[in-house]
Amino acid sequence: MKLALNFRFLKLTVLTFLLCFISVYHAEAKDIGWGIPKGENHEQPWPGKEFDEIVRQNDAYYIGSADEKVIYLTFDCGYENGNTPLILDVLKKHEVPALFFVTGHFLDENADLVKRMANEGHIVGNHTWHHPDLAKVTKEKFNEELQLVEDKYKEITGQEMVRYLRPPEGHFNQQMLDFAKERGYYTILWSLAYMDWNVDQQKGADYAYNQILARIHPGAIILMHSISSDNAECLDKLIPELQKEGYEFKSIQYLMTEDAPVPFE
């Protein structure tokens, strides 16, 4: 009887250990699709404590200081459909810096635009070569995706890529964040975005303009897609309006250092 009880206790102990291990494993491997509520009345949106902490504790950013009316413009560039030149023209006109996250397809097909981004003082970041879900890839695949972009960018510009990463579709987990930190990358998410990526459902420049004005807040990291004609056409009106409201556009590097950010050239 005593032997049977001991065996039963051993089984329960092992089962409890396995359940705990599985729970921890799934918590660490959980795929997070980044999303954040809409900001209103110039107040910063709040994704919740769990999301905020996992970002802030892992060399990642989704928002800047609530005490400064600073805006960070970022563009995801999966491919080119004719809008990026206009975006660059407007940024140059208003002397506004931006961060462009590029894929392998964009680098392969648009070397001249990538050179222009770098030459005009913008930062070009890594959006992976094939645009996979980085929360589901091996470490080897993760490194390959980033290395291919780094190598092509250096081939085009002669410069090393600044290590800013935007995971495709905002999918990440603790493993992905660890991989990024090991390669010296900062993961850049966002605090303001809207449905602008579907080229068949563009709603006009006024729509994009109103979406941003309604949600703008101090420290906003704005995600826009360069394939959106709405975005390209609204910027020339949007930038001076936001400046009139007291906002400044700064390089994402301003978030990384207490020193003065690299000036726009």
Q: What is the pLDDT of residues 18-73, one digit of tens each?
A: 333 333 333 355 688 888 999 999 999 999 999 999 999 999 999 999 999 999 99
pLDDT of residue 126: 98
pLDDT of residue 30: 67
pLDDT of residue 5: 44
CATH code (residue 251): 3.20.20.370
Residue 236 corresponds to which tokens in the numbers above?
């020339």
> Domain residues for 104?
41-255
**CA 78 – CA 53 distance, rounded (Å):** 29
pLDDT of residue 31: 82
Classify residue 7: in a domain, yes or no: no
**CA 150 – CA 161 distance, rounded (Å):** 6
Task: Quickly state the pLDDT bin for 177 (edges 50, 70, 90).
Answer: very high
pLDDT of residue 23: 33
Classify residue 205: in a domain, yes or no: yes
For tokens 């941003």, name the residue. Answer: 212
Classify residue 263: in a domain, yes or no: no
Classify residue 19: in a domain, yes or no: no
Counting the structural domains of the chain, the total is 1
Handedness of CA 127, 132, 137, 138 (dihedral sign): negative
82 exposed, middle or buried (CB, 10 Å; 0-12, 13-18, 19+)?
exposed
Q: State pTM to two decimals.
A: 0.86
Q: What is the pLDDT of residues 86-132, one digit of tens each?
A: 999 999 999 999 999 999 999 999 999 999 999 999 999 999 999 99
Q: What φ, ψ does residue 63 adopt, rounded to 5°? A: -160, 155
Give me the chain's average pLDDT, please.
88
Classify residue 132: in a domain, yes or no: yes
% residues pLDDT > 70 (the chain): 86
pLDDT of residue 29: 56
Question: Which candidate in 76, 122, 127, 217 is catalytic?
Answer: 76
Please name which of 141, 151, 74, 87 lies closest in space to residue 113, comparing C-alpha atoms: 87
pLDDT of residue 140: 98
Classify residue 11: in a domain, yes or no: no
Q: Is 225 a catalytic residue?
A: yes
pLDDT of residue 241: 98
Classify residue 30: in a domain, yes or no: no
Helices (H), the chain: 2-29, 49-56, 84-94, 104-109, 111-119, 139-157, 174-182, 205-215, 229-244
**CA 238 – CA 63 distance, rounded (Å):** 20
186-188 vs 248-249, strand pairing mode: unpaired
Q: What is the pLDDT of residues 211-229, one digit of tens each?
A: 999 999 999 999 999 999 9
pLDDT of residue 242: 98
Classify residue 23: in a domain, yes or no: no
Q: How many degrees, rounded to 5, is the angle at CA 94 between CA 88 and CA 98?
A: 50
Q: Is 171 a catalytic residue?
A: no
Q: How many degrees, rounded to 5, is the angle at CA 14 between CA 13 and CA 19?
A: 100
Question: Which candidate in 122, 127, 217, 225 is catalytic?
Answer: 225
Residue 91 corresponds to which tokens in the numbers above?
């940024």
The predicted model gives 145-158 an average pLDDT of: 98
% residues pLDDT > 90 (the chain): 81
The predicted model gives 161-179 an average pLDDT of: 97
pLDDT of residue 6: 52
